[in-house]
Amino acid sequence: MRDRPVVVLHDGSAPSAEMMAPVTELTAVRYTDEAGLAEALSGAEVLFAYHFLSDALAEAWHGADSLRWLHVAAAGVDSFMTPQVRDSDVVVTNSRGVFDDAIAEYVLGQVLSFAKDLPGSWRRQQQHIWEHRESERVAGTRALVVGTGPIGRSIARLLRAAGLQVRGSGRRAREGDPDFGVVRAQEDLPGELAAADWVVLAAPLTDATRGMIDSAALTAMRPSARLINVGRGELVRTEDLVTALREGTIAGAALDVLETEPLPAGHPLWDLPTALITPHSSGDFIGWRGALVDLFAQNLARWQAGQPLHNVVDKTRGYVPGS
């Protein structure tokens, strides 16, 4: 396969030779940024989308004359699900499993941050104010995790370990789930939102989930509830959320993903005291980039051996079935 190198799409900063060693031990590599993608794809069977947020493939598709496999270095693949990819025979895989535990830790951290008002304590420290306050308990509170894939399951397990009562919201309802206990179908979401103290979004972006948290959904939530989004920014209608936070419709929101990234400097979310903003980094533990390369290398070895690939995405759904 060395005469048909893997194309690695990067964002202008290619992964280091040391990081790429698990791949280069198996085959030659052709590095490219978005500007050179069409040319780099010519004759290549495999594209490793290390630049996982790129939307350049649609314009470069004419160069994909031999492409058979696209691997995305992320759990979400929506930016690569172009009509050309969906209608082609190209197999798409994602990086499911790399970020699950790290994102779950982030969610628990934000739950505790809200309950213990750690941002408020930091603000008082900066002002040299000693003010005794009481905080909330998280044990016994109710969390709704929207999205029952591997990331949602890791979140559910960790929140349960902290004493929270957890339910899930997914495509289909079921009882006796090992991680969620009860899973309700998406059409039952309004009622589930009304009962939750914490609403955690970990769903993939699909036609059914885009904009699912709008003014109606936010109004259905409890005034004391907090929203935590680690799924996709487009799951939430940002203008509706800003209004809900300003008016106290909900008590707070922790947002690791947003409709527009980076969040513009003058956006009102920056200055809302009940909004906690992080730069799409909830899963980015020390060493995460190397872990992504290692996962791709393991799948590449399977590809070369003619074995079935792991993490194959259903292109009609936009995610790995069963996740």
Residues 6+ apart with CB under 8 A from 281: 256
CATH number at residue 37: 3.40.50.720
Annotated active-site residue in 280, 289, 310, 317: 280
Annotated active-site residue in 30, 153, 184, 232: 232
Closest C-alpha to 172, from 186, 158, 190: 186
The answer to whether 259 is a known catalytic residue is no
Under the banding of pLDDT at 50, 70 and 90, the label for residue 43 is very high
Average pLDDT over the chain, rounded to whole?
Answer: 96
CA 63 distance to own-chain centroid: 29
For residues 63 and 40, the answer to whether their CB atoms sit within 8 Å is yes
Domain count, the chain: 2
132 and 252 fall within a common domain? yes
Residues 2-19 have pLDDT tens digits of 557 999 999 999 999 999
The answer to whether 261 is a known catalytic residue is yes
For residues 147 and 169, the answer to whether their CB atoms sit within 8 Å is yes
Task: Find the domain containing 65 and state its range.
Answer: 6-98+286-304
83 and 111 fall within a common domain? no
Residues 55-76 have pLDDT tens digits of 999 999 999 999 999 999 999 9
Across the range 158-164, mean pLDDT stands at 98
111 and 247 fall within a common domain? yes
Position 312 in a domain: no
108 burial class (0-12, 13-18, 19+ CB within 10 angstroms)?
Answer: buried
144 and 123 fall within a common domain? yes
The answer to whether 232 is a known catalytic residue is yes
111-to-107, 108, 115, 116 alpha-carbon distances in Å: 6, 5, 6, 9
What is 256-294 written as a DSSP string?
A: SS-SSSSPPTT-GGGG-TTEEE--S-TT--TTHHHHHHH
Q: What is the dihedral of CA 267, 259, 167, 155, to 10 degrees?
A: -90
- Calpha distance 175→131 (Å, rounded): 46
116 and 69 fall within a common domain? no
Q: Which residues partner with 198 through β-bridges?
A: 143, 226
Residues 102-127 have pLDDT tens digits of 999 999 999 999 999 999 999 999 99
